[in-house]
Amino acid sequence: MAALTDRPGMNGCAAASAPRTLVLGIGNVLWADEGFGVRAVERLHEEWEMPAGVTLMDGGTQGLYLLHHIEACEALIVFDAVDYGLAPGEMRLVGDDEVPAFLGVKKMSLHQTGFQEVIATARLKGWEPRRMLLIGVQPEELEDYGGGLRPVVAARLEEAVACAVEELRRLGHAPQRRAGRPQQPLSAPAITRQSYEAGRPSAEDACRFGDARFLALVSGGKG
């Protein structure tokens, strides 16, 4: 499931004051480091079991489709690739009212414009979150269609996950480290990071430098 909410009572009750929390990874996994947000929430799901009151979601580039999930939460943690103008791989946390601005400074991708708008729309409808936190990493490569995370960005996944866990604890939740693998992956198995990156055809096979059939036609005497 893209949205996994653990059943109430599975890990005991969350602290009475802990806000309903949505941890959202956004971005497009097909565009290299643009997938950071989705990969971070995927990793969080693989390593940590969430208590009642916490929802993990692979939001992709869904924009308005995410509105009702956002309206339903009292605290929102967002993972995303953000152009802060920093060195590639640098991570920065931004809180509360600053979040929308950072999701719109440089419109690196359509979902960022879209997501800023989703937040504005939720606000117009009266949504007043107790807490917003953006865990963003400066991407290195966005232009590689079909590519995975670059090492400098992938290296931040662990830290990003740790930041989210720390924030969840601060909010009064008690995530537990998993003993084994989760029963269900967060996204369709074919596009989880490992299958996606391992299954990518080589540049030659996928004609990323030109189309082999065309080249064959030329060498076949057409040119």
Indicate whether 55 belongs to the interface with other proteins (CB under 8 A). no
56 closest CA partner among 134, 4, 133 = 4
* Displacement of CA 211 from its chain's centroid (Å): 33
Pick one of 47, 89, 90, 113: the residue that binds other proteins (CB under 8 A): 113
Indicate whether 114 belongs to the interface with other proteins (CB under 8 A). yes
Minimum Å distance from CB 16 to other proteins? Answer: 27
Comparison of 110 and 155: residue with beta carbon closer to other proteins: 110
Between the CA of residue 32 and those of 50, 168, 193, 197, what are the distances in Å? Answer: 28, 28, 11, 10
Pick one of 16, 87, 179, 190: the residue that binds other proteins (CB under 8 A): 190
Indicate whether 105 belongs to the interface with other proteins (CB under 8 A). no
Q: Which stretch binds other proteins (CB under 8 A): 13-21, 23-31, 40-48, 155-163?
A: 23-31
- DSSP 8-class letter at 207: T
Cβ within 8 Å of residue 95, ≥6 positions away: 131, 132, 133, 134
Pick one of 65, 92, 96, 98: the residue that binds other proteins (CB under 8 A): 65
Indicate whether 123 belongs to the interface with other proteins (CB under 8 A). yes
- Show the tokens assigned to 177: 């480290």
- Residues 146, 134: Cα–Cα separation, whole Å: 25
Indicate whether 59 belongs to the interface with other proteins (CB under 8 A). yes
Q: Which stretch binds other proteins (CB under 8 A): 10-18, 156-164, 171-179, 204-212?
A: 204-212
Contact 21, 173 (CB under 8 A): yes
Count the neighbouring beta carbons within 10 Å of the beta carbon of residue 210.
9
Amino acid identity at 126: G
Indicate whether 146 belongs to the interface with other proteins (CB under 8 A). yes
Indicate whether 63 belongs to the interface with other proteins (CB under 8 A). yes
Minimum Å distance from CB 166 to other proteins? Answer: 27
Distance between the two ends of the chain, CA-based, in angstroms?
A: 51
213-217 long-range Cβ contacts below 8 angstroms, 24+ apart = none
Indicate whether 162 belongs to the interface with other proteins (CB under 8 A). no
Interface ranges with other proteins (CB under 8 A): 1-3, 28-31, 34, 57-68, 71, 107-111, 113-114, 116-117, 120-121, 123-126, 142-143, 145-146, 187-188, 190-191, 199-201, 205-208, 210-211, 213-214, 217-218, 222-223
